[in-house]
Amino acid sequence: MDIKDKKILVFGLAESGVGASNLLAGLGAEVTVTDSKPKEALMKYVERLLPSVRLSLGGHPDGILQGVDMIVISPGVPLNIAPLRRAKEIGIRIIGELELAYQIINSKFKIQNSKFPKFLAITGTNGKSTTTTLLNEMLNKGGFRTILGGNIGNALTEEIGKLIQDNINHASIDFIVAEVSSFQLEAIDEFRPKGAAVLNITPDHMDRYHSMEKYKDAKARIFANQGEGDFLVLNADDPETVKVESEKLKVKSESPKIFYFSRKKAVEGVYFKDGVIYSNFNSSLLTLNSQLLRADEINIKGVHNLENAMAASAMALLAGCQADAVVSALKDFEGLEHRLELVRKFEGVDYINDSKGTNVDAVVKSLESFSMPVILIAGGRDKDGDFSLLSSPVKSRVKKLVLIGEAREKIKEFLGGLTETIFADNLEEAVMISRKSASKGDVVLLSPACASFDMFRDYKDRGEQFKKIVRGLS
């Protein structure tokens, strides 16, 4: 990729925008970053930019495309906004931050005649961050050197920029472990991971995609460029993932080798049976048939984490990680913040922070993890989710439903008749209502099934505020 002295426009100033802008500027490009938000709302990002990066904030002015050689978009920027439609019409190349990271590191390794590190990429509606982090832990325990990044919070361009700046021996990097979202996959071109996984596909971001077909198409792009010698891990239990396999993979002239994980049946890959996790591989990539460990030995709990553990195990084993390193990571991994995180046991009640439960399916899986009565705090900004899918777990597990945010009326319409339901004006009030309603042995669960942007900066901010409130109870 020829970057030096090129005029490059970066759309979207957040984590990815900072990473892309600084990487490009450091490689000699003339970089301008633009965002519809004003400068004062973006200062925490502006302060991290290199001095040479120019700013065009508070909108996208006429003439911003003048002389631009390439555009790099952050994941949150839809491809159909007016300036990008115009750029496409006049022939300006548009790629995403993920594609930029892939091409930059690829070209750098070729120039240095070094061994190109293998990309391992994970997507899915739910479980991406946990699975990606767990996979990285397994590889590290197995003696491999990795870079961890992507949608998980630290932009891949920023991590690669650090490597280039610090002049680290690139040849010593074995794997780049990346969490990739549907938004990122929309704007790939040549991105080809050695190994990829699709964890699940359930309705999410319908405010952006408007149909499941478009959402599935975006997810399926993770294996669009894969071919012989690559591998793909799929959830054999998830209907939409199975559909993607039949609809998208069967038409490829050169397909990756496919493996599976399953809670419900024996598969070629990793599966659960009678309380035990088994590996079952018989291919040119890997031959391994053995018991890995009992499911109750896995440190992170919950049905969804069992699936995440099996997906990460399959990816690690196929990447060449030894089984003992995989098992060790499964026993030691403590999970991630804001994902079924026990904040505090107070007055005999468990307070659980699941702020990352931003869609309906995530909340279904979270509720399935509890046998005790749950007081559920939910609500926020609706992503056009189908809240009726929560009916069964709410009816069987939720003692009281406390609703906040823009979507509370809609959620009540679907679920209010199934259990006692009450509105709260803010998160603190929701916690106080929950405390008064809880009895010893109950669970107070923040699992919103919605985005956070109506009341909070992001899901992390929502989770941190929940934890602060809970820790302040006395």
pLDDT of the chain, 474 residues: tens digit per residue: 789 999 999 999 989 999 999 999 999 999 999 999 999 999 999 999 999 999 999 999 989 999 999 999 998 898 889 999 999 999 999 999 999 999 998 877 655 545 678 999 999 988 999 999 999 999 999 999 999 998 887 899 998 888 777 665 555 789 999 999 999 999 999 999 999 999 999 877 767 777 888 989 999 999 999 999 999 999 999 999 998 888 877 666 688 999 999 999 999 999 999 999 999 999 988 989 999 999 999 998 888 899 999 999 999 999 999 999 999 999 999 888 898 899 999 999 999 999 999 999 889 989 988 989 999 999 999 988 899 999 999 999 999 999 999 999 999 999 999 999 999 999 999 999 999 999 999 999 999 999 999 999 899 999 999 999 999 999
Cα dist. 110→1, 8, 94, 106, 232 in Å?
Answer: 11, 23, 23, 6, 25
Whether residue 64 is found in the same domain as residue 128 = no
Whether residue 351 is found in the same domain as residue 300 = no
Q: What is the CATH number of the domain that holds 155?
A: 3.40.1190.10
Residue pair 323/292 in contact (Cβ under 8 Å)? The answer is yes
Task: Tell which of 299, 332, 365 closes a domain.
Answer: 332
Cα dist. 274→277, 306, 403, 425 in Å?
Answer: 9, 13, 38, 46
Look up the pTM and report it.
0.84
Burial of 425: CB neighbours in 10 Å, binned 0-12, 13-18, 19+: exposed
Whether residue 279 is found in the same domain as residue 134 = yes
* Helix (H) or strand (E) segment spanning residue 69: none
DSSP code of 246?
I
Question: What are 160's two structure tokens?
Answer: 């690669």
Task: Tell which of 42, 59, 91 closes a domain.
Answer: 91
DSSP per position, 164-176: HHHT--GGG--EE
For the chain, what is the domain count?
3
> How many residues are given for the chain?
474
Whether residue 407 is found in the same domain as residue 261 = no
Whether residue 222 is found in the same domain as residue 301 = yes
Q: Where are the beta strands (DSSP E) in 263-389?
A: 269-273, 276-282, 287-294, 341-346, 349-353, 374-378
Residue pair 308/130 in contact (Cβ under 8 Å)? The answer is yes
Range of the domain at 382: 341-471
